[in-house]
Every structure is written in C-alpha cells, then in structure tokens.
Structure 1
Amino acid sequence: WGSICDYRHDESKPCSVDLGNETAWVEGGATLGETYHAIADSSGIHGFSAGSCPTVGTGGHIGGGSFGFLSRKYGLAADNVIDALLLNAKGELLDRQAMGEDVFWAIRGGGGGIWGIVYAWKIKLLKVPKTVTSFIVSRPSTKAHVANLVNKWQHVAPNLEGDMYLSCAVGAGLPQAKSIGISATFNGFFLGRKRGAVLILGRVFAELGVAEEACKEMSWIESVLFFSGLGDGAIVSDLKNRYLHDKHYFKAKSDYLRNPISLTGIRTAIDILEKQPKGYIIMDPYGGIMNNISNDSIAFPHRYGNLYTIQHLVEWHQEEKNRSNEYREWIRDFYDAMASHVSWGPRAAYVNYMDFDLGVMELINTSVLSEDTVEMARVWGEKYFLNNYDRLVKAKTLIDPNNVFKNQQGIPPSTTTGLKARTF
C-alpha cells in the first residue's frame, strides 16, 4: 500500500499576513522571497528573520533553524515560529497542540524532511524601521592586510549591538573584487540610518573605512533585494521568482567558532584560498540576542558562546562538471587543514549546510538493530544538534516510529530496523 500527497503550492497566496496579530501563515512550499514580498506588501514596518537566498523554500530552511540578517536582533526564523501544520505518516494534519510540544520543539531547528511534511508555518512578524542601511564593501589587498582585517572583524562583529550585522567573505575570486586575487567582502546591515551605522563602525572598526558614501538607505524589503544576489537591474517583485537562471554546482561545509582563530590560522586559510579562486568562505557573526537564547529552547543548539559560523564553499559551472571530484577533494582538504583552528567537542556543523562527508545512512534493508542505528547516526547527529540529539530521537520515535520520513542524514527512531550507517 502507498499514499499520494496532493501538496499544491498556492502561488497566488503563499503567505497570509495578519497584521492585527502581527503573525503570518507561510506555506511550506513558499520561497523566502515570496514570504518576504508578501510581508512587505502588507506592512512597511514588519519583516522576518530568515536567510538571504530568495529561492530557498521555507519548509526545510526554517526546519533547520534559518539564520539571517535579523537574527542578531530577533533570533532565527525557527525561534519565531509559534505554530505549524505537519502532515504525519498516517496522513493526519497536526497543529502544535495535536503534534505535542516534543514534536513542535523538534521541527524547529531539528532539520527538514525528518518529521513529516510541513504544510505551513505560523510565524511572528518582526518590527523593522521604515529606513534601514545596507552596504557591501570589497577590500582587495595583500594577504597580510586581508588577514589583519579578518582578525579585527572576528573580534568586532560578534560584539556589535543587535541592530547591526556585519559578515565577512574571503577568497581569491570574489565577485565584488575587480580581478583575481585575495580580497575580503563585508556585508553590512543596520536597523537605522546610515549616519548611525558609520558612527558605530568608525568607533569599533575604523580599519574597514566605511564612509557614508558607501552606505545606502532603503526600506527593509529593498535591503532583502540588495543582498539577494539577483544582480543589477533586479526589482522587488523579482523576489517572487522561484528559480535562479544562473545555475552551478557547489560543495559546502561548515564550522562554528567559540574562540577567535589565531592570526596564524587566518593566514593558513588565506594561503589555501589564494591557490583556488573558485573557493571562498563566508563568516556570519552570532552574538546579540543569540547569546540570550538557551541551547535547548528549540532543537537548534548553537547559541551562547558561539562567535560566528564559517561556511566553506567551492563553486563551479556545468561546463566544468568533469572536474567535480577535483573541487570536492579541494574543499575537503581545506576543511581538514582548518581542523586545529576551529571549535571541537564535537566539531559542530549547521544542518542547513548538510555535509555528507560527516557520514550517511544507507537506506537499505539490513539486520542492524534500532539502538545501534541511533548510535551510528550520532556521528553526524551530535555535530548538527550537540546535546539535543537524544531528545530528537525521542521526538522522532513519537511522530514517525516506522521512519517513513527518512534521508541519508536523518534522525532514526529508537524502534526502527532496516537502515545501515556509513561514516567516513
């Protein structure tokens, strides 16, 4: 026996906004761009805290936590979910009360595609000023100077007030730089006018040299477009487009930093990046309200004490697909080279940057006992979820004891056989 789920995306209304209660229902199939556009269409002083890529779907993205430009002020997208509709393996549509608090806890930050099908999220709308400030500045320079900028950034960005977000990307082929060579790109966002942003940065990060001329004042939804990567000439309505036209391959890995990287470690990273212009790193600062939310308030555990996260990336186009193995091996070597410079116990990772190098579950029939499978999945489960892993196993056992919703890095229930883990 099988079942068919009619899970149609309503393109006419992917997000229903209730301004009176400052909430919205967002379809699991809606993209972030559609969600942001619908909110801004209803209010000029509300936004939402999620990622910057407009074509990403909310169903899995929010399920993994979802960090973005407003997260230092308001927390993750998952922190701002107050209800959900979840289709379980029996075909029942469950709201928060029906699924129970253990499962509702798990679906917020415990990963997508594991618990059931998220039909919709009920989210809190977040207050934003009518005018915000955004900037993107590129700083190509010598390796030594870029290393010093990155070193200063890691001591400044996590300690900025929650109204300010400042990320840093480093690579030898960043699009904001005019030519190949090591550079750092800084994305800045401030909930206020540019004079305030420049005053703050001038006081704590004068070396970056951000002037008012580099800053743009705009509405919140215009800032979403500004950082969307949609390119010059894009307009706000383009955020509703569900597909990217510039398609490419990429491989990503992630780290969390609880202590600053030494200057030696930064130089090591830059030396490696200099040799591969298709590789780069993005560092997103934590701190702000993230330090005030407990590690087990929802399933996402990376809170107090985390300074920032690193996304290690390598990208290549379709015409180079014959070199895919080469690029994947390069980023694995880069990740290994940084091992002594990042946080351990365990070496944590972000589930929304799913990394099969951490280990996978082979979805085949086998005689492996369920308790052994739970321990096998712990290899990657504790890297993504730290001490929340065992509670996630309990929630999985409650909502999906037969493991109908499974994937290669899923959370196995404590009652399932028929899976085999493979680690690297």
Structure 2
Amino acid sequence: MKIRSGGHDYDGLSYVATVPFFVLDMFNLRSIDIDMETETVWVQSGAILGELYYRISELSKTHGFPAGVCPTVGVGGHFTGGGYGNMMRKYGLTVDNIVDAYFIDVNGRIHDRKSMGEDLFWAIRGGGAASFGVVLAYKIKFVHVPEIVTVFRVEKTLEDNATDIVDQWQHVASKLPKELFVRLVIDVVNSSTRTGGSTVRVSFISLFLGDSKTLVSIMNENLPLLGLSQSDCIETSWIRSVLFWTDIAIDSPTDVLLNRTPSSSYLKRKSDYVKQPIPKTALEGIWEKMIELQPAQMIFNPYGGKMAEIASTATPFPHRAGNLWKIQYLANWNQGGAETAQRYIELTRKLHRYMTPFVSKNPREAFLNYRDIDLGVNHNDRGSYLEGRVYGIKYFK
C-alpha cells in the first residue's frame, strides 16, 4: 500500500513500485478547521500547503505556519517527514508545532494523541508515519508573523565576487537573528567574459520577519560583501511572501495558492548536512566541478536559531545543533526517456560524490523528506531490517 497526500515524494515512492500495489490517495481528506481563539488548526493530510496558508490568511494578517515554500506539497508527507521552510530559524519545523493527530492503526482503530500514546505520537512527527499507519489529520499551532515582512533576491556571479560573498555567508548565516533566513541557490549560467562561456551564479533569497530598514542594517553589519540596499527589498505581507518564494508574481491573487497542480518536469534530488565552513579554495573547486556537471545545482539552507535550541531527540528529526546548513542537490529536465533520466541522475550523483570531504561523516547524514533510493532500499522480507538500517542511520543518525 502506498499512501499519497500530495505526490511530491522525490523518488516517487508514494506512487511507484516494482511489485503490485495500490495507492491510498488522501486527496479528498483536506479539510482545514481553524480556531483563532486557541490559535490552532486541524488540517487533514490530503490538504496542500498552499490551501493551509491561504485559509490562515483569510482570517489573520499576523499568523502563519513554518512549513515549506512549495504550495503544492501535501500536508501528510511533508509533516510526517519533518518538513521545513523559511521560518525554521525562528519557529523550527512543522513537527515542532504539532500538538495532536488523528491516526488509523493496522486494525482500523482511530486514535488521537492520548489514545495512541506518547511514543507513537513522537514517531509520527518526523519518522515517516506510513511505517506505523495512516495519519488522517494533524492539529498544529499557529505562529505569529508581523503584518509587514521583507523579501529580497540578489544574484551574484563569479565575476561579481560571488566566492567571497558565499565565504562570508557560510560564517554568519547560522548566527543571524532568528527572524532572518537567507537561502543560496547555486547554478551555472552563460558568461560573455569567462573562458569556456559559463560561470556560477549564486542567488541570495531571503525572508525577514520585519521591515526593510532593519533588514538592510542587519545585512550590512553581518554580510557587507553582498551590498544589500533598500531598493533590493520588497516589503509585503507574509502570505504574499509565499508567492515571492514560489516565483509567482507577488501581486497575483493569493487564491493561486489553491492550485494543486505541481510542475511536470522530471527531477532528481539528494541531500547533505554541513558542519564546518568550506575552505575558500575548495569553494573555487566546487564551482569548477559544477560548470563541468551543469545543469546540476545546489541549494544551501541555513540552520541555527531555533533549530539549534531543540534537542535532537525531541522528535525523530535529529539534525539540530551543530549543523551550519543543509544542501539540496538538484537536477531538472523535460525530455522523457530512460537514457536522458540516467544522464541527469548521474550528474547529480557525481556532484554529491564530489562534496564528500565537505559534509557530515559517520554517518553521512541525509534528510528523510528528500527521499533518495541511492542510499538503499529494502525488499520487505526477512532481511528488511538490515536493509533499512543502511539508509535509516543516514536519515535518523
């Protein structure tokens, strides 16, 4: 049985198998019951994040929820794997803000937190609930956001001193005020000045829970090489910041978040955690490798803040204090066919292998929600535990 809420499993494990199977699709279970008095929401597993955000925004300009930046992601899978977003440095993960759940066990009995017990409630908040049963709904806590937040996107290439700026970012990103999240998206683009015609571009993308004047002051004190100015910043509401982060025009009607249709491109994703700054000379080597392996990309998501304050045993999600940032490796392509897919997948694997000296070790940690069958699979037979242990240690340390 495959359980699907939004169908965003990166390796398709919610709807693909090599043996006969059926899909339990949660599509019709997507009610969202908001209680403003207690600042809580019961949200069913088949809802998408965009629906949740939109329904919250209908009732309040000063509440939000710290979950992912892709609005078509399903609540069920996102929550159960320890979903994160651009407010995690302030409020932690989805699982850090869940207070109850409705859960069906193997015997068809429906439980809430009290009847399932604290051990099972702990496990379904970051441990991948499909291993234990079916989560029908989660009860979550709102978080407070200001009426005005600030976003920016600033792009720098190697010719714009990107290496020095990334080097400065890696030393400060996890130490910035909790209200500030600055992500890096690193890809390869054409260059008219570099030998070979390609250069590395680094996009600095941010959400700040505050006004632009304060943001510019913080950035110029901590990351002066970026040269952020107020003209780079957009002050907006939290709900419209969701549009900005999804590359939707920020002045679009916010009900666009109700669209459940995801992008249709093919993709491969992998993950890593970084615990020590990468030497500047090594960054230069990484850029050369990315140019060689284009169009493989990387995204750096900073940790610190609230993430460093929550114990690694508080939920099954263990990647807390000691992590500077998480890497997402990605490749996207539009052409079908096994040969094309294998080419792009291998580019991503090669970049992942190249990064081995610079990431966590013993184990080399990975993020459960970036499901990656390269780490291992099991065959649901007598050896399942030993097979699962291989990748389980990477996901859960």
TM-score by length of 1: 0.83
Amino acid at match of 2:274: L
**1:319 Cα deviation after fit:** 4.9
Kindly report which structure 2 residues correspond to 1:11-410, keeping only aligned pairs within 5 A, or say none: 14-142=31-159, 145-173=161-189, 181-230=199-248, 234-244=252-262, 246-319=263-336, 322-363=339-380, 366=381, 368=382, 373-386=384-397
Q: CA deviation at 1:264?
A: 2.9
Preserved contact between residue 240 and residue 251 of structure 2 (Cα < 8 Å): no
- Whole-angstrom CA distance in 2 between matches of 1:186 and 1:3: 42
Distance across 2 between alignment mates of 1:19 and 1:232: 26
Partner amino acid for 2:317?
F
Q: Which sits farther off after the overlay, 152-161 or 317-326?
A: 317-326
Q: Compute the RMSD of aligned alpha carbons.
A: 2.1
User: Which letter does structure 2 place at the counterpart of 1:110?
Assistant: G
Structure 1 CA distance, aligned partners of 2:237 and 2:331? 32
Q: Measure the CA separation in 1 of the matches of 2:338 and 2:240.
A: 35
Q: CA deviation at 1:148?
A: 1.8
**Which runs of 5 or more structure 2 residues have no equivalent in the other structure?**
1-20, 191-196
Question: What per-residue deviation string (whole Å, max 9, x for no partner) do you get for residues 31-86 of structure 1?
Answer: 00001111111111100000100000010101111111111001101100000011
Name the SS for the 1:142 alignment partner. helix
Deviations 1:158-201 (A, max 9, x none): 11010111111111049xxxx96311001111111000000000
CA distance in 2, matches of 1:207, 1:164: 17
Aligned residues: 371
Q: Percent identity?
A: 39
Contact map agreement 1:278 1:316 (CA 8 A) in 2: no
- Aligned residue for 2:203, secondary structure, equals strand
CA contact (8 A) 2:78 2:369 kept: yes
2:181·2:207 contact (CA, 8 Å) conserved in 1?
yes
TM-score (norm 2): 0.89
140 and 377 in structure 1: CA distance in 2 versus 1, 3 angstrom threshold = same
User: For the structure 1 residues 97 and 173, does the alpha-carbon distance in structure 2 shift closer, same or farther, using more than 3 Å as the test?
Assistant: farther
Is the Cα contact below 8 Å between 1:22 and 1:124 reproduced in 2? Answer: yes
Paired AA for residue 9 in structure 1: N
Distance 1:267 1:182 in 2: 10
**Contact 1:9–1:27 (8 Å) recurs in 2:** no
Distance (whole Å) between structure 2 residues aligned to residue 118 and residue 247 of structure 1: 27
Q: Is the 8 A contact 2:289 2:351 kept in 1?
A: yes
Tell me if structure 2 keeps the 8 A contact 1:129–1:191.
yes
Distance, in Å, in 2 between the alignment partners of 1:379 and 1:47 is 37
Letter in 2 for 1:254: S
Q: In the aligned structure 2, how far is the partner of 1:155 from the partner of 1:234?
A: 36
Q: Deviations over 1:260-318 (max 9, x none)?
A: 11223322221121124321100000000111100000110000111110001111113
Q: Do the aligned partners of residues 381 and 4 (structure 1) sit closer, same or farther apart at CA in structure 2, a change above 3 Å counting?
A: closer
Judged with a 3 Å threshold, the aligned counterparts in structure 2 of structure 1 residues 343 and 24 are, in CA distance, closer, same or farther, namely same
* CA distance 1:285–1:8, shift in 2 (3 Å): closer
Relative to structure 1, the CA distance from residue 119 to residue 309 in structure 2 (aligned partners, 3 Å threshold; closer, same or farther) is same
1:237-282: CA deviation from partner (whole Å, max 9, x where unpaired): 10110003x4111111100111111223322221121124321100
